[in-house]
């Protein structure tokens, strides 16, 4: 089993491919996946690089344990986001990711630069790559996948071709998406329709088989494994509704009366099967729609169902399937429709959409993704293609739909858990619930201190940064948390212990902070969306508006725990502790001095 110590660099402007070594120090300190992608992005992008220009880098990254870990094999798409203007890492798993890991052989990453002058695809095979013409420009993600039935395919649909700022990279015929932040738009700007991985996934080395089996059993027997086996992430609908954190009808209520009609039981009744029925990680429910087959996950009924007031599971699944085929993120798309409904109700725009109307929502999403005529006046769909913040700026509306760093929030309303507000605000890629999810315990806890909330968010962010650099399944990888996967590296004879891996996670998180700071992000970009300081109309006491001053104190405590100054900049002492002081360039602002703990 060879070390992954190289990268494949594809320059689409010249349509050339080169193999290059990945510096050994980078591999040790940043591992792979998110970490290696972040290191390349920081090293190669000038501040202010146009995310949709040829100078942007798009990295398809695997990790040193890709293909070996339990659960779905995953890959990381790392680039500069056209939605936020900052760092973006987005993940997808299963067949394409496994085949990519096998096809890259001894490579950690496929680095894509430049832009082609015609639609192309990149074929990866045997540790090498080649650029070929792509005849399927204009096709949706399922059609594009079907061109290569004997390979793994990651591709864009019409939304990516059009440059929608939240276009996805779809894989496995649209079942999986590197979804948030617009990596698909970066592909479209490069005229890259698809990446095709032809080799089989790597075989699990014999020395890792017992360890993999033990971790799979631990996962299956744990709380996360049990609830995921029962309902995958659809459990989120019922949980959020129960605790009063299910953003409903454009963030106007905290519970959805029809939650039972779009949640786990509805999905189970409609399902024709599971993705991996015989696996310890069975995957999502497969359902039939008029257009084919869909695998709706938690974000689909939360954002396209409760968020838009759509009460029919079949209608919600059909909306999700349409997003999957168009290659557009369901969370941002659902929030864009909710923005249009509320703006129309306020008389700010002329849009024939309403809550509870899946047909209107579908028409607007299709117009955003394709540029076709839709239910809104000219200009609205173009503005919404750039995100909710862009539309609000263009039409002078208030910020009824909350965002962080211009990324629309998922449907977990943080007014039910202030720690979740901190997780959103400090997320390195924008409003994201995957970096840390304190709402899972905070919403049902009797009391939580500032120290507990901060520690939970920091620990989860660091740990996931490490695990997403392996690249581990977000859920099946949970048994690795305590030792950071050190046993796996030891079994392979690699010199990593739990502390060095924990430190790598913190180092990677901090490097991304430096990248964003160099792009001009500061404390103001970690602020609470103003709408969240208002109570939910008709909501419970748990969803009173968040106290802005209390939140600022919480943010101070978070910065102090990280060793950042009060402006959110890592201090020289912190950079030295993380062995980042020699990495930082002269264009990156750094904290001037240590800040005392702010608890």
Least confident of 45-54, 383-392, 468-477, 548-557: 468-477
Report pLDDT for 579. 97
Unique residue bearing structure tokens 């090498």: 128
57, 61, 141, 328 from 170: Cα distances, Å: 18, 15, 6, 9
> 3.40.50.10490, 1.10.10.10, 2.30.110.10, 1.10.569.10: which CATH number matches 226-403?
1.10.569.10
The yes-or-no verdict on residue 594 having pLDDT over 70 is no
pLDDT in tens, 430-477: 999 999 988 888 877 778 899 999 999 999 999 999 999 999 988 888
Q: Which two tokens stand for residue 504?
A: 């790598």
Report pLDDT for 281. 65
Report pLDDT for 570. 97
pLDDT in tens, 137-160: 999 999 999 999 999 999 999 999
Q: How would residue 537 be classed by pLDDT, with cut points 50, 70 and 90? A: confident
Unique residue bearing structure tokens 């360890």: 211
Give mean pLDDT, residues 378-392: 96
Work out the mean pLDDT of the chain and round it to a whole number.
92
All residues at 6 or more sequence positions from 588 whose CB lies less than 8 Å from its CB, including other chains = 514, 517, 518
Question: Domain locations in the chain?
Answer: 6-206, 226-403, 412-577
> By the 8 A CB rule, do 303 and 319 touch?
no
The yes-or-no verdict on residue 396 having pLDDT over 90 is no
The yes-or-no verdict on residue 314 having pLDDT over 50 is yes
Which among 226, 184, 194 is positioned nearest to 120, based on CA atoms? Answer: 194
Q: How would residue 378 be classed by pLDDT, with cut points 50, 70 and 90? A: confident
Report pLDDT for 536. 85
Fold of 412-577: 1.10.599
At residue 92, what are phi and psi to the nearest 5 degrees? -150, 160
What is the 8-class DSSP label of residue 135?
Answer: T
pLDDT in tens, 152-202: 999 999 999 999 999 999 999 989 999 999 999 999 999 999 999 999 999
Least confident of 123-132, 485-494, 513-522: 485-494
Q: Which two tokens stand for residue 42?
A: 């920081």
Report pLDDT for 597. 44
Q: Three-state secondary structure along 320-388?
A: HHHHHHHCECHHHHHHHHHHHHHHHHCCCCCECCCCCCHHHHHHHHHHHHHCCCCCECCCHHHHHHCCH
Residue 550 CB neighbour total at 10 angstroms: 11
What is the Cα–Cα distance from 300 to 321, expressed in whole angstroms? 9
Domain 6-206 and domain 412-577 have a common topology: no
DSSP 14-66: TTEEEEEEPPHHHHHHH-SHHHHHHHHHHHHPPTT--TTSTT--EEEE--TTT
Alpha helices by DSSP H, listed for 78-208, are: 95-104, 141-146, 158-162, 183-189
Class of domain 6-206: alpha beta
Report pLDDT for 467. 94
């Amino acid at each position: 089993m060879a070390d992954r110590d190289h990268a494949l660099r594809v320059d689409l402007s010249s349509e050339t491919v080169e193999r290059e070594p990945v510096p050994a120090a980078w591999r040790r300190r940043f591992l792979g996946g998110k970490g290696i992608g972040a290191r390349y992005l920081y090293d190669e992008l000038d501040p202010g690089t146009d995310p949709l220009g040829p100078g942007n880098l798009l990295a398809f990254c695997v990790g040193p344990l890709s293909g070996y870990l339990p659960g779905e094999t995953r890959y990381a798409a790392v680039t500069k986001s056209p939605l936020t203007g900052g760092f973006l890492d987005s993940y997808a798993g299963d067949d394409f990711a496994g085949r990519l890991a096998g096809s890259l052989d001894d490579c950690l990453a496929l680095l894509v630069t430049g832009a082609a002058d015609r639609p192309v695809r990149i074929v990866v095979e045997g540790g090498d790559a080649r650029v070929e013409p792509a005849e399927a420009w204009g096709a949706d993600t399922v059609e594009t996948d079907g061109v290569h039935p004997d390979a793994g395919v990651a591709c864009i649909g019409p939304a990516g071709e059009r440059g929608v700022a939240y276009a996805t990279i779809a894989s496995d015929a649209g079942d999986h998406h590197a979804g948030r932040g617009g990596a698909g738009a970066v592909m479209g700007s490069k005229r890259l329709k698809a990446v095709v991985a032809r080799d089989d996934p790597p075989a699990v080395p014999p020395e890792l088989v017992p360890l993999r089996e033990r971790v799979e059993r631990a996962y299956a027997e744990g709380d996360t494994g049990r609830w995921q086996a029962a309902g995958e992430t659809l459990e989120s609908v019922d949980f959020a509704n129960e605790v009063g954190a299910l953003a409903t009808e454009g963030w106007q209520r905290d519970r959805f009366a029809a939650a039972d009609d779009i949640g786990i039981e509805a999905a189970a009744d409609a399902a024709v099967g599971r993705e991996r029925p015989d696996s310890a990680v069975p995957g999502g429910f497969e359902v039939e729609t008029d257009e084919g087959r869909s695998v709706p996950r938690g974000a689909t009924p939360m954002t396209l169902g409760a968020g838009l007031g759509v009460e029919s599971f079949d209608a919600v699944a059909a909306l999700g399937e349409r997003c999957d085929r168009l290659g557009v993120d369901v969370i941002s798309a659902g929030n864009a429709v909710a923005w249009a409904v509320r703006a129309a109700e306020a008389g700010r725009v002329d849009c024939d959409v309403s809550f509870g109307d899946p047909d209107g929502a579908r028409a607007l999403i299709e117009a955003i993704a394709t540029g076709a005529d839709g239910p809104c006046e000219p200009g609205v769909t173009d503005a919404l293609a750039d995100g909710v913040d862009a539309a609000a700026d263009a039409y002078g509306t208030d910020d009824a739909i909350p965002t962080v760093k211009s990324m629309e929030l998922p449907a977990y309303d943080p007014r039910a858990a202030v720690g979740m507000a901190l997780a959103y605000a400090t997320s390195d890629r924008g409003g994201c619930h995957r970096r840390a999810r304190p709402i899972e315990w905070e919403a049902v806890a009797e009391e939580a201190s500032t120290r507990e909330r901060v520690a939970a968010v920091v620990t989860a962010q660091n740990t996931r940064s490490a695990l997403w650099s392996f690249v581990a399944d977000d859920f099946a990888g949970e048994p690795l948390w305590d030792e950071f996967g050190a046993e796996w590296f030891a079994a392979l004879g690699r010199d990593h212990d739990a502390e060095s891996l924990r430190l790598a996670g913190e180092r990677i998180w901090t490097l991304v902070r430096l990248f964003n700071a160099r792009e001009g992000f500061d404390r103001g970009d970690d602020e609470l969306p103003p709408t969240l300081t208002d109570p939910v109309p008709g909501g419970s006491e748990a969803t009173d508006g968040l106290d802005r001053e209390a939140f600022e104190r919480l943010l101070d405590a978070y910065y102090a725990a990280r060793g950042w100054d009060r402006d959110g900049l890592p201090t020289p002492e912190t950079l030295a502790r993380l062995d980042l002081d020699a990495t930082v360039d002269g264009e990156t602002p750094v904290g001037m001095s240590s800040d005392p703990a702010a608890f």
